Amino acid sequence: MRILSVKPSFLLPFLLALAAGGMAAWLPIPVVAGVMGVTAVFLLAIIEPLIGLGIALLLAPLAAVEGNLLAGLPLGSGQLLLLLTLAVCLGRSLSRRRLFIPVLPINAPLFIFLWITAVSLTFAGSFPLAFKEWAKWVEIGLIIWMISTEEEGRGQHHLFILAMLMAAGVTQAILGIWQFGFQPDGPEHFLVLGRFYRAYGTFQQPNPFGGYMNMSALLAMGASIGLIGTVWQERRGMDWRSKKLLWLLALLVVTAVTTAGLLVSWSRGAWLGFVGGTAVLTLFLPRKRWHGILLMGVMAGVLLAAITVGQQLHIAAADSIITRVSSFTQDLTFGDMRGVEVTDSNYAVVERLAHWQAALGMARDHLWRGVGFGNYEAVYAEYALINWPAALGHAHNYYLTLLAEIGVIGLTAYLGFWTAVFIQTIRAVNQSDGLWRGVALGLLAVWTAVAIHHLVDKLYVNNIYIHLGVMLGLLQWVVKGKREIGYGLR
Q: Per-residue pLDDT tens for 58-78?
A: 999 998 888 777 766 677 888
Q: Quick one: which of 43, 489, 455 has its CA closest to 275? A: 455
**Torsion angle in degrees (nearest 10) through CA of 190, 196, 202, 207:** -50
For position 152, what pLDDT does the model report? 46
CA distance 446 to 214: 7
Mean pLDDT of the chain: 82
CA distance 269 to 332: 14
Number of CB atoms found within 10 A of residue 364's CB: 11
Mean pLDDT, range 151-169, rounded to an integer = 78
- Return the bridge partners of 192, or none: 196
Alpha-carbon distance values, 383 to 15, 125, 338, 347, 370 (Å): 60, 15, 12, 19, 14
- Give the HSE-up count for residue 417: Cα atoms under 13 Å, Cβ half-sphere: 20
How confident is residue 353, by pLDDT bands cut at 50, 70 and 90?
A: confident
Handedness of CA 387, 389, 395, 400 (dihedral sign): positive
pLDDT tens string 103-118 = 888 999 999 999 999 9
* Higher-pLDDT residue of 313, 278: 278
Residues contacting residue 135 through CB under 8 Å, at least 6 positions apart: none
* Higher-pLDDT residue of 290, 258: 258
Mean pLDDT, range 177-193, rounded to an integer = 84
CA distance 359 to 374: 12
Q: What is the pTM of this model?
A: 0.87
Number of CB atoms found within 10 A of residue 13's CB: 10
Mean pLDDT, range 353-381, rounded to an integer = 92
Mapped onto helix, strand or coil, the DSSP state of residue 327 is helix
Domain chopping of the chain, boundaries: 107-480
How confident is residue 33, by pLDDT bands cut at 50, 70 and 90?
A: low
For position 3, what pLDDT does the model report? 42
CA distance 189 to 207: 13
Q: Quick one: which of 332, 458, 329, 482 has its CA closest to 398? A: 458
Handedness of CA 273, 78, 472, 284 (dihedral sign): negative
For position 465, what pLDDT does the model report? 95
Q: Which string of DSSP letters, residue by residue, matches 294-316?
A: HHHHHHHHHHHHHHHHHHHTT-H
Query: Is 330 exposed, middle or buried, given 0-12, 13-18 or 19+ CB atoms closer than 10 A?
Result: exposed
